[in-house]
Structure 1
């Protein structure tokens, strides 16, 4: 980290992580940030992790443009040209994530933030799931789809909601 540069720190109680079974989510988030989306201008930039006696703290770039959901709500919507711009940046973020072998599984305006320059940044990679590769699909049965229900009920895909199984296409839904 660079002295004088503002950052965001996501502090999570060690006790709560263990009690709620969220340690795997933290591990997934750090793995994806460090190894999968690293270098993408449209995913939050990981800067490090540290711990205190009671917390694990993930350090990322500060995204001072706000949460997209809040921006949309405060403006009563956004112009179509802005929506297209954000959608194009989201597609590039998802391309990086999917190329790295993961699907997000919790896409929603609350997990999209804006940089000070107004660029979209995908955040919150804790419930990401591994994508089954072609080789894995060939070695398994014809049905190599994920079935874990995760995400936010208001935004979950029909495939997930009805337990039909899903692939990374769930992020494009």
Structure 2
């Protein structure tokens, strides 16, 4: 029940971003809380990757930019998702993506506030959380780096040999996102939108 109530509260804050799933309705019975979410008909990013194996650089850039917008909206509201993974990135029939599943989210994570409890999915969890150390929103950027790595290489684990000349820009941003030291991790350290990988994105007018 606690997870459902967290998700309900977070969904009330997602309305301001087109890259986060929105709630259509919610109601409660004596024994259940029911949330009705908007319907996205094209499955999730995990299913897309299973069918394609990997994505080209332009497709990765497009989806990644939309995810950046969604993640930054959550962080601006003091929300850490804590379970970012391809299964929680839904694909709309328009071709755009939306982040979903806020049941493990942490609320009121503003400023220097940190947490220590463990959450998330194996393979996408930041090293500081795995080590049971204090963490902040940097954990989401690590998970995002793993997702980007899987989009480009088809593998969750970072392997330099899977990158080639056409994916060198993606390789650099992924390395910046996967830094073990969260204080040096891109997204927390420096503006991720200004990374060379996103130079073709016009952030002011929306995702092209």
Q: What TM-score, normalized to structure 1?
A: 0.77
Q: How many residues align?
A: 142
Structure 1 unaligned regions, length at least 5: 1-22, 138-143
Query: What CA deviation, in whole Å up to 9, does each residue of 1:33-52 have, x standing for no partner?
Result: 01x21131000121111245
Of 130, 137, 151, the match for 1:168? 137
Q: Does 1:99 align with 2:99?
A: no
Higher RCO, 1 or 2 (CA under 8 Å, sep at least 6)?
A: 1
Look up the match of 1:155. 124
1:102 match: secondary structure: coil
Structure 2 unaligned regions, length at least 5: 143-208
Counterpart-to-counterpart distance in 2, 1:57 and 1:117: 27
Task: Considering fraction of residues, name the structure with more strand.
Answer: 1
Shift in alpha-carbon separation, 1:131–1:159, aligned structure 2, 3 A? farther
Look up the match of 1:18. none
Counterpart-to-counterpart distance in 1, 2:81 and 2:109: 14
Q: Where do 1:82-121 residues align within 5 Å?
A: 82-121=59-98
Contact kept, 8 Å, 2:80 with 2:109, in 1: the verdict is no
Look up the match of 1:19. none
Contact kept, 8 Å, 1:102 with 1:129, in 2: the verdict is yes
Q: CA RMSD in A?
A: 1.5
